[in-house]
């Protein structure tokens, strides 16, 4: 009984064929034929090496035996060189997944600095309501009336109740697998930092260290009048500032306030240096954080449940929940980029 494994690529002037009617499926022998050149290949490793040397990306894949898929996936994710459009064509023909997902994994594999920008969608799987999606609880409360300096000054009771409820919701929340993956990627040197619009502290809780909180942190309490820091429990008890009896507030950026300069500057610096920017779970509606993805010279990847008009401006778009998408990417990296 013979085994046939085929990779046939067809281009305008050249044709590469791998075929091998001999050997066992797990240790096949192939012949690589390109133009008039014939090369005998002994095993998957040699085939992989040949793919790297010959780099047939410019050719059109016509037929690929499914037993070649694994070695081709590995090659496409790591070594293959070519225009994005050519690589996408190969992925489309060969790998039974979303080309954008494979391209994103490929860029992360090869990147020196990956920067991450996260929004509310990053936290929804930690049982936190997302403010802008259909089920977000801000649908019932207009944020412009509560998360504002005006509410803090003139409707302190409502302001206080709103942030107390948000803090209480946080006690139930824990980082999910997606947060953990980003923390792990930082630990192994893939991710250089995270700029987040979230004030919940979940990235830090998961172990990420380079976290730039663009909208501040809900956990730090200070006096609105004199700026002195206060304990969280003082805020919960509805007390005033110890020094001046001023109103206590969480350290979040309210509508109408400036972003913390240091967090912004550091995020921007890392984004400018990044080879890849991953934008996760944000509808990109809030200025100026929504400008960050466009301040890189690197590739941009958008991951969100719902796509908006800006999505087409990204180099790759992956639809899905943060946890699911990051888990899928992480699995690809572990399988194919272990030595990276
Ligand atoms: Zn004070």
Q: What's the CATH code of the domain at 147?
A: 3.30.1600.10
Q: Please count the structural domains in the chain.
A: 3
Binding site annotation covers 241?
Answer: yes
Q: How far apart are CA 144 and CA 166, in angstroms?
A: 16
Q: Are residues 271 and 324 in the same domain?
A: yes
Binding site annotation covers 337?
Answer: no
Last residue of a domain, one of 77, 96, 115: 96
For residues 329-338, give the mean pLDDT.
85
Query: Residue 106 is part of which domain span?
Result: 99-128+174-215+259-340
pLDDT of residue 184: 97
Last residue of a domain, one of 96, 118, 153: 96
Q: Are residues 264 and 120 in the same domain?
A: yes
Contact 211, 196 (CB under 8 A): yes
Give the residue ranges of DSSP H helices in 29-117: 44-54, 69-78, 84-94, 99-110
pLDDT of residue 32: 74
Which pLDDT tens digit goes with each residue over 162-216? 898 889 888 888 999 999 999 999 999 999 999 999 999 999 999 999 999 999 9
Q: In what order do the strands lie in the sheet with 7-10?
A: 37-42, 27-34, 15-24, 7-10, 60-64
Q: Are residues 225 and 281 in the same domain?
A: no
Binding site annotation covers 223?
Answer: yes
Q: What is the mean pLDDT of the chain?
A: 86
pLDDT of residue 137: 57
Under the banding of pLDDT at 50, 70 and 90, the label for residue 229 is very high
Q: Are residues 17 and 91 in the same domain?
A: yes
Q: Give the whole-number percent of the chain exceeding pLDDT 70.
A: 87
pLDDT higher for 295 or 65?
Answer: 295
Which tokens in the block code for residue 227?
Answer: 């700026």
Which tokens in the block code for residue 303?
Answer: 């991951």
Q: Are residues 196 and 147 in the same domain?
A: no
State in Å: Cα 222 to ligand 1 middle: 8
pLDDT of residue 267: 97
Last residue of a domain, one of 50, 79, 96: 96
Q: Are residues 110 and 187 in the same domain?
A: yes
Q: How far is CA 173 from CA 159, 163, 176, 330, in A?
A: 22, 15, 9, 23
Q: Are residues 290 and 336 in the same domain?
A: yes
pLDDT of residue 29: 63
Q: Are residues 36 and 183 in the same domain?
A: no
Which pLDDT tens digit goes with each residue over 84-108? 998 998 888 877 678 999 999 999 9
State in Å: Cα 246 to ligand 1 middle: 5
Q: Residue 248: helix, strand or coil by DSSP?
A: strand
**Pairing relation of β-strands 191-196 and 211-213?**
parallel
Q: In what order do the strands lie in the sheet with 248-252?
A: 229-230, 216-223, 248-252
Q: Is 295's pLDDT higher than 60? A: yes
Under the banding of pLDDT at 50, 70 and 90, the label for residue 340 is very low
Q: Please, what is the end-to-end C-alpha distance for the chain in angstroms?
A: 39
Under the banding of pLDDT at 50, 70 and 90, the label for residue 12 is low
Q: Is 44's pLDDT higher than 90? A: no
Q: How far apart are CA 151 and CA 214, in angstroms?
A: 21
Q: Which of 17, 1, 102, 19 is nearest to 67 (CA)?
A: 19
pLDDT of residue 128: 74
Which pLDDT tens digit goes with each residue over 103-151? 999 999 989 999 999 999 999 899 876 555 555 555 567 777 889 999 9
What is the residue whose two structure tokens read 């997302």? 130
pLDDT of residue 69: 84
State in Å: Cα 240 to ligand 1 middle: 8
Q: Name residues with Cβ closer than 5 Å to ligand 1, which is an ion.
A: 223, 225-226, 228, 241, 243-244, 246
Which pLDDT tens digit goes with each residue over 233-250? 999 999 999 999 999 999
State in Å: Cα 298 to ligand 1 middle: 44
pLDDT of residue 260: 94
Q: Are residues 168 and 45 in the same domain?
A: no
Q: Is 1's pLDDT higher than 50? A: no
Q: Are residues 159 and 284 in the same domain?
A: no
Q: Are residues 21 and 167 in the same domain?
A: no
pLDDT of residue 136: 53
Q: Residue 4: helix, strand or coil by DSSP?
A: coil
For residues 256-273, give the mean pLDDT.
95
Contact 284, 290 (CB under 8 A): yes
State in Å: Cα 248 to ligand 1 middle: 8
Binding site annotation covers 109?
Answer: no
pLDDT higher for 259 or 27?
Answer: 259
Q: Are residues 12 and 65 in the same domain?
A: yes
Q: In what order do the strands lie in the sheet with 276-280?
A: 211-213, 191-196, 114-118, 276-280, 299-304, 316-319
Active site residues: 215
Give the residue ranges of DSSP H helices in the chain: 44-54, 69-78, 84-94, 99-110, 143-146, 149-154, 156-171, 177-187, 202-206, 232-236, 261-273, 322-336
């Amino acid at each position: 009984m013979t085994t046939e494994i085929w990779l046939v690529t067809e281009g305008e002037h050249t044709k590469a064929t791998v075929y091998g009617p001999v050997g066992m499926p797990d240790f096949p022998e192939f012949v690589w034929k390109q133009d008039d050149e014939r090369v005998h290949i002994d095993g998957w490793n040699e085939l992989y090496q040949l793919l790297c040397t010959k780099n047939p990306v410019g050719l059109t894949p016509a037929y690929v035996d499914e037993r070649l898929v694994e070695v081709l996936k590995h090659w496409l994710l790591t070594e293959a060189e070519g225009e994005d459009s050519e690589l996408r064509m190969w992925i489309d023909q060969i790998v039974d997944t979303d080309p954008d997902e494979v391209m994103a994994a490929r860029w992360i594999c090869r990147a020196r600095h990956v920067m991450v920008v996260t929004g509310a969608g990053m936290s929804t799987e930690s049982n936190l309501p997302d403010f802008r999606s259909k089920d977000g609880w801000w649908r019932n409360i207009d944020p412009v009336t509560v998360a504002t300096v005006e509410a803090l000054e003139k409707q302190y009771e409502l302001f206080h109740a709103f942030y107390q409820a948000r803090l209480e919701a946080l006690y139930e929340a824990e980082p999910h697998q997606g947060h953990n993956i980003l923390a792990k990627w930082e630990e192994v040197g893939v991710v250089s930092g995270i700029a987040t619009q979230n004030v919940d502290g979940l990235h830090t809780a998961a172990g990420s260290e380079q976290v730039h909180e663009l909208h501040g942190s809900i956990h730090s309490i200070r006096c609105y009048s004199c700026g002195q820091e206060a304990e969280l429990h003082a805020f919960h008890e509805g007390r005033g500032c110890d020094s001046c009896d001023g109103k206590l507030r969480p350290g979040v950026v309210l509508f109408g306030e400036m972003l913390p300069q240091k967090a912004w500057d550091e995020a921007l610096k890392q984004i400018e240096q990044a080879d890849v920017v991953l934008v996760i779970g944000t509808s990109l509606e809030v200025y100026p954080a929504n400008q960050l993805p466009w301040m890189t010279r690197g590739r941009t990847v958008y991951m969100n449940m719902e796509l908006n008009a800006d999505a087409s401006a990204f180099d790759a778009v992956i639809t899905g929940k943060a946890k699911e998408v990051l888990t899928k990417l992480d699995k690809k990296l572990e399988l194919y980029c272990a030595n990276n």
